[in-house]
Amino acid sequence: MHIHIHILGICGTFMGGLAVLAREAGHKVTGCDAGVYPPMSTQLEAQGIELIEGYGPEQLSLEPDLFVIGNVVTRDNPLMEEILNRGLPYVSGPQWLGEHVLNGKWVLAVAGTHGKTTTSSMLAWLLEDAGLNPGFLIGGVPLNFGISARLTDSSFFVIEADEYDTAFFDKRSKFVHYRPRTAVLNNLEFDHADIFPDLAAIETQFHHLVRTVPGVGRIVTNGREAALERVLTRGCWSGVERFGVEGGWQALPATDGATVDEQFAVYWEGARQGVVDWQVQGEHNRMNALAAIAAARSVGVPAAQSVKSLSSFRNVKRRMEVKGSVDGVTVYDDFAHHPTAIDTTIAGLRTRVGASRILAVLEPRSNTMKLGTMKAQLPSSLADADLVFGYGAREGRDKLGWDLADALSPLGAKAQAFNEIDPLVKAVTAAARPGDHVLVMSNGGFGGVHQKLLDALSARCAASTNKGTA
């Protein structure tokens, strides 16, 4: 039965993907949000989904059959208050997805503090390249597909499984709604300080996820993570495969004396499965690849086939994505915002660029970062950058609750903090030299800083050319 659903908070990566799936399933979809920005807004408009700015109660005149509520929606939201006052039907996004899209599918869920989007994208590509035509919902745009979500008639569905809470009325982690048969536990450390008091509280949510995996299902887990071992010790009823450790899945040099940066051999229980030859850097991505290979094997894709498929894997938008190059200065966009992700992202770029200078431009705007829980870890995560430019908004919803300049002070003269975008752009442009790599890291739009930097570099280049010909 096709109905009209109206989605509150439609421009988040998860809810936007859900909107695409609902539309593909034949439902009429409309939605609203505040502060709409690409890539999700453009993706939704391309799908013909009507977007309404803000949460005005007049949207009730659309008379949808059901309101689907994103977890950005809180009490005191004017539209939500009116829905509650009138007793209109509503449901959380994860619950709607679990009941109407995932039900009856072999769900492959990718959970973990880091690497969920990349690993989900890899896994969807491995199944696609093997001819399994999977459906998927990923919190980013995998470049192999160009979209973050799709619905197919395949039995298989890959989903990025977030531990963040479901909705203001359901404080369980989103992933308990997904009922996976294959669950990837990529890694686990403290994050989401706005909703979890400590690491143990997150471990409990992962334990709840493990409880939903059937006995015939498979758990693929990072064997190096003590937190995940604690989770499994609390109870496990499914087959388990570990990656990153001897006896499980391993990424090792393909030949004696070789490095593993662009080519590595995959081993399972000591037996060589093949060699991955790709353009994706970093130890974290090799771990992501092992997890994806193991998960794909759980639905019948041989490891040797997956190893070949990874050679044509293209990464995800906003994962070390080159936005442009002007006058020998390359500008990248990356989603990194947690100190561990910042550290691994800089390390990955360092592997690629060697001794060239890296100028790190950071906006710490996730809820965890805004609370200041991780601020003490920032300097060490940025230590391998040559120069650091931090941005902390003074007001608005991205306002920092702490002093960024003070937090970066252990880095000394190589770090500067700004509370406005334009002075930051000016400082980066003044510092940048041909051969430099400008790495912009944020989990938001960052005031369009990437294009502003490229424009400023172009203007500088044009000015020096004019000066030379004058």
- What span, in angstroms and rounded, lies between the C-alpha atoms of 470 and 356? 32
- What span, in angstroms and rounded, lies between the C-alpha atoms of 263 and 252? 9
115 annotated ligand binder: yes
Q: 433: exposed, middle or buried (C-beta count within 10 Å: 0-12, 13-18, 19+)? A: exposed
Distances (CA, A) of 336 to 196, 333, 346, 361, 399: 20, 9, 10, 11, 18
The SS3 of residue 281 is coil
The SS3 of residue 415 is strand
Which residues neighbour 188 within 8 Å (Cβ) at sequence distance 6 or greater? 112, 113, 199, 202, 203, 206, 222, 225, 227, 228, 231
At residue 42's C-alpha, the angle toward residues 38 and 47, to 5°, is 145
Nearest to 151 by CA among 3, 44, 22: 22
- For helices 116-129 and 283-297, angle between their N-to-C axes, nearest 10 degrees: 40
- What span, in angstroms and rounded, lies between the C-alpha atoms of 176 and 166? 9
CB of 440 within 8 A of CB of 365?
A: no
The SS3 of residue 390 is strand
Q: Is the peptide bond before 89 cis (omega within 30 degrees of 0)?
A: no
Measured in degrees and rounded to the nearest 5, phi and psi for residue 56 equal -70, 140
Paired sense of beta strands 165-167 and 271-277, if any: unpaired
CB of 53 within 8 A of CB of 13?
A: no
Structural tokens at position 221? 């887990």
345 annotated ligand binder: no
Which residues neighbour 145 within 8 Å (Cβ) at sequence distance 6 or greater? 121, 124, 125, 128, 136
116 annotated ligand binder: yes
Q: What is the dihedral of CA 136, 129, 322, 354, to 10 degrees?
A: 120
- Helix extents (H) in 283-420: 283-297, 303-309, 339-353, 367-371, 378-381, 404-408
- What span, in angstroms and rounded, lies between the C-alpha atoms of 74 and 79? 10
Output the DSSP codes for 186-210: -------TTT-SSHHHHHHHHHHHH
113 annotated ligand binder: yes
118 annotated ligand binder: yes
- Helix extents (H) in 146-191: none
Measured in degrees and rounded to the nearest 5, phi and psi for residue 415 equal -120, 140
117 annotated ligand binder: yes
Annotated binding site for ATP: 112-118
Annotated binding site: 112-118
